[in-house]
Structure 1
């Protein structure tokens, strides 16, 4: 293992502090640009900046990140369903609960949240070598938000995927249509309360269907 000298360690710490100062400056710039549409932010020291904005300020936040922070690179866009799965679905469970159980309390991630479903977009500045993750709460009774296509054309199919998998409507999107699922498919598979019927039939593949390595006898 390579060990850093004291000088190298101090340089790394200084670089991390400068990065955090830059992230604080970014958060302040977005706050000034969005006004009441800016909710809060969270900084992971030396790593990342998360900013939560109102749904109405979603597109404005993306435009401010592009024009004021220099985030010209659109990385990805998706949604998060913070509802704990009532089926107990996880990678260590061989089978789901046959009947849904009472869901655990919802706990949102960095920069908090007030709703079950949130939009998330990751933007990056190649010049600054730094990125920002922007998120917005979606009201439970109105899963819609403005499209980011006028700001980042690359958001097109990411929004189609979120529409298809989470049931989120993107206002102003010119071509919301399925990518993966047949047109007559009902439901949104990435919502936590969507049951995977295959796990009603047999244990989760990969947990029990394990192939032995060459030379193993299975004893």
Structure 2
């Protein structure tokens, strides 16, 4: 990974600030030691730091002590495929978008490779060091048991702003943050069952009402198509545009 990152930044595509990001990646890797699995620099944009999940809280606490005192956000990703598809029986669903497109498949595979490891769920948080005008996106792959993601330590005692973010991740993905004072729902009723942002959560409403913009398009009968074409040409000639 490091070799690929170096190659990506050494050519003409390197953007202003990437050298600083490379230096920061090396600095934070040394700071966090064995907690770091790999780093990645998105040219001209972001520094990603993937860490072992058991070091989640201690790593973020160390980064705060190192000047990354501003908490941006915390969220999660479910990398699995939705087992029921998109709930619309369209020609796109039947054919499978990008299944036969090697370039599309390669791009998707590269995105997942950069994004994380082999686990289904991933936790991520963004921190900023205002004094250094620097930011870092921290990622951790979460093992799961029968679709239930692993419990991780809460960071609300490190970053108070993570309170609602952890509650949302718990509500939407089912991630338990050990030590959080109150993992109550934010959006859903208390008695609501399930976690809507998991890919296996059934969107039953969409089985009844298709996504907006998805419609059944009927073919125009040949005789009607010829008639419409004749009418359009007649109007075109009558307007003088065809002279």
TM-score by length of 2: 0.68
The 1:117–1:123 alpha-carbon spacing in structure 2 relative to 1, beyond 3 Å, is same
Quick check: 1:76–1:121 contact (8 Å CA) kept in 2?
yes
- CA 1:114–1:192 in structure 2 vs 1: closer, same or farther (change >3 Å)? same
Deviates more, 1:33-42 or 1:198-207: 198-207
Instruction: Trace 1:19-34 onto structure 2 (pairs within 5 A).
Output: 19-34=17-32
Give the structure 2 partner of residue 216 of structure 1: none
Assess if the C-alpha contact under 8 Å between 1:30 and 1:64 holds in 2. no
2:119 is aligned to 115
CA contact (8 A) 1:94 1:203 kept: no
Aligned mates of 2:115, 2:174 — CA distance in 1: 23
Query: Is the CA contact 1:51–1:111 (under 8 Å) kept in the aligned structure 2?
Result: no
Q: How many residues align?
A: 184
- 2:187 aligns with one of 169, 172, 180: 180
- Counterpart CA distance in 2 for 1:109 and 1:156 is 30
Instruction: Measure the CA separation in 2 of the matches of 1:61 and 1:89.
Output: 38
1:125 aligns with 129
Q: What per-residue deviation string (whole Å, max 9, x for no partner) do you get for residues 107-161 of structure 1?
A: 5352531200010001112222221100001111252111111211000000000
CA distance in 2, matches of 1:25, 1:73: 20
Alignment of 1:25-64 (within 5 A): 25-64=23-62
Provide the rounded CA distance (Å) in 1 between the counterparts of 2:51 and 2:181.
24
1:65 is matched with which residue?
63
In the TM superposition, what whole-angstrom CA distance separates every residue of 1:6-40 from its partner, at most 9, and x where no partner exists?
Answer: xxxxxxx9x944x2222222222222222221100
The alignment yields a C-alpha RMSD, in angstroms, of 2.6
Structure 2 gap ranges (5+): 1-11, 94-104, 216-243
The structure that has the greater radius of gyration is 2
Distance in 2, matches of 1:132 and 1:191, equals 25
Distance in 1 separating the partners of 2:198 and 2:24: 32
Give the TM-score of the pair, scaled to structure 1: 0.75
Q: In the alignment, what sits opposite 2:165?
A: 158
8 Å CA contact 1:81, 1:191 repeated in 2? yes
In structure 2, C-alpha distance between the alignment counterparts of 1:179 and 1:206, rounded to whole Å = 30
Bigger fraction of residues in helix? 2
